[in-house]
Structures are given as structure tokens and as C-alpha cells.
Amino acid sequence: MIPYEYIFYLTSILFVIAVFGMLMRKNLINFVISIEIVINAALINFAAGSYYFGYLNGVSYALLILVIAVFEAAVAIALIIFYHKITDNLEMSALKEYRG
């Protein structure tokens, strides 16, 4: 069918584009969106691994990662809302004033 290398190339390209988005955007929500893209690329990879070796391990991992992504996004958004309440904008550069 589809050789595994194709899927790996696909997911790595997606990952790199998401990394580009992480690095170059200064908005926090854009950052979280890029992380979601990364997670989805990993999901595709896991599912493909399970597809090619006939074991159900990959799909299990994929389901669990999905769950994890949910609550990680939930906490992140709670923090973003909190942050917006304080600073009224969503810029990453303002975060460095809160260190320590």
C-alpha cells in the first residue's frame, strides 16, 4: 500500500512547519495552535505505525495522546485567559517580566 516512508516524511514536514510557527509568531494562541499541529502529526505517525505492523499498540497510544492533548490545551487556555486578564494582550514578549 502506502510505504511507511511517505507518512514519515509527511509528519516530519508538518512538524517542521509547526516549529516554524512556534518560533516566528509572537502571539500565545498561535503558539498553542502550533503545538496542536505537532500533536496531530504525532498522532498520524502512531496510527501509521500501528497500521504497518498489525499491532494495536500504536492506536492505543494515539488515543491516550488525544486525551492528554485535551487537558493540556484546557490548562493552557485557562492560563491564557488569566494572562489576558492581567496584561490585556497576548504577547509572548511580556512574559519575561514575570520571571522569578
- Spell out the residues 6+ positions from residue 19 whose beta carbon is closer than 8 angstroms to its own: 34, 38
Q: Taking the complex as a whole, how short is the minimal distance between the CB of residue 38 and another protein, in angstroms?
A: 10
The answer to whether 34 touches 18, Cβ cutoff 8 Å, is yes
Query: Would you call 26 helix, strand, or coil by DSSP?
Result: coil
10 Å Cβ neighbour count for 80? 16
Q: Taking the complex as a whole, how short is the minimal distance between the CB of residue 41 and another protein, in angstroms?
A: 8
**The three grid cell numbers given for residue 60, joined into one nine-digit string:** 492505543
